[in-house]
Amino acid sequence: MEKRFVYADNAATTPLSEIAFNAMKPWLTEHYGNPSSLYRMGREAKEAINEARKVVGKCLNAAMPVNEKNDYAPGEILFTGGGSQADNLAIRGFMHGPSSKGRKHIITSKIEHHAVLYTCEALEKEGYRVTYLNVDKEGRVDLEQLKNELSEDTALVSVMAANNEIGTIQPLKQISELAHSVGAKFHTDAVQAVGHMHIDVQEMGIDMLSLAGHKFRGPRGTGVLYVKNGIQLEPLVYGGGQERGLVSGTENTAGFIGLAAAMQDACEHLDEKMGYVKKLTDKLVKGIMENIPYSHYTGDPVNRLPGTASFVFEAIEGEGLILRLDNAGVCGSTGSACSTGSLDPSHVLMAIGLPHEIAHGSLRLTLGEQNTEEDVDYVIETVTDVVKTLRSMSPVWENGKPNLSAAADLTAHH
């Protein structure tokens, strides 16, 4: 039973920070004007959004509006309703827009978030050609394959900055240089990365970048698409012409201000906060790997997000693991999608080469700045106990070790 509550699923969402909440509060109560209105309350809201835009741009080292006095110029920062919206606008908006120059080829990777994968699949049905890059066993994209697949017809390369399941960080600068070598643009889904690693869009050669506020202690339902000056997109939402006419709809003033406040706090204290989180994560990984036999650490062990710890345990089913951890007060996640009615394990774990029968036993624990050493001790103890209990009931656990042939038979039967 629950002895302590530990939230260890910060990659899913993070608690709203006090800094973000305090920044938002006045815009939820007294300053409620519509930013499109011409009177003072509306102008104040519009001005506040554009101040937030400048904060976000500074964190990413985006170019500021050409005319610094023009507070109403979106510059290179567009606010959206979240990371998925930003991904859709970047990929679909670019391929349908004039900047694609009629090219019909997109390159992405097999381990992208579904906001990218499903958008690419939808474009394939419209006649576009999509190449899905392989990754190695630690989740790094195959740069040689990328080089070979690039052509004069390639319009866009979209590869995530860091994977949301296994935490592996991709070589963004190398990818952008390869894309640019054939005149293609480079988009990165940095939803999991922003606020957790240094990102400089100019230094890394990024043309478009998606992010979401709730991944770094900002509010949910807020996102950003960075679009390099000169790139023209087809609108995602038609309407009143907000956000350069690309994402119409009355602006979420408080949400955008909260995102900017959380992002500024995350970026200004990045090394200090992430240094602490990495120390906790290293302790967590060491404890679990030493205490639980037949366990595997997935993703790049070095070049990864500081708070992500991703494992697979042999002879374990992920859904049962999550439910028992929940009963003990620990929030984590699994790539095993049984709860959604699918028996297929995570597409990320399959792409890095794990067999079905092992990939089913996945556990992702993601720590944040609010976690403590005591939390980590409790998680290690709890995960160890739960795995032991589940294995004692498993038909594929025999004499203190997994029976892989039985596990394979069971998977095939399902």
Q: What SS3 state is found at 332? A: coil
Phi and psi (nearest 5°) for 37?
-75, 150
Cα angle 62, 68, 69 (rounded to 5 degrees) comes to 150
Here the tokens at position 179 are 């894309």
Here the tokens at position 93 are 């908006």
User: Does 338 qualify as catalytic in the annotation?
Assistant: yes
Count Cα atoms within 13 angstroms, Cβ side, for 401: 3
Of these residues, 59, 267, 331, 338, which one is catalytic? 338
Q: Which is nearest to 204 in space by CA: 230, 225, 178, 237?
A: 178
CA distance 138 to 142: 11
DSSP 141: B
Q: Which neighbouring-strand residues pair with 188? A: 209
Contact 253, 27 (CB under 8 A): yes
CA distance 97 to 296: 44
Contact 126, 77 (CB under 8 A): no
CA distance 86 to 74: 15
Q: What single string gives the DSSP state of each residue in 237-252?
A: B-SS-TTTTTB-S---
Catalytic residues: 338
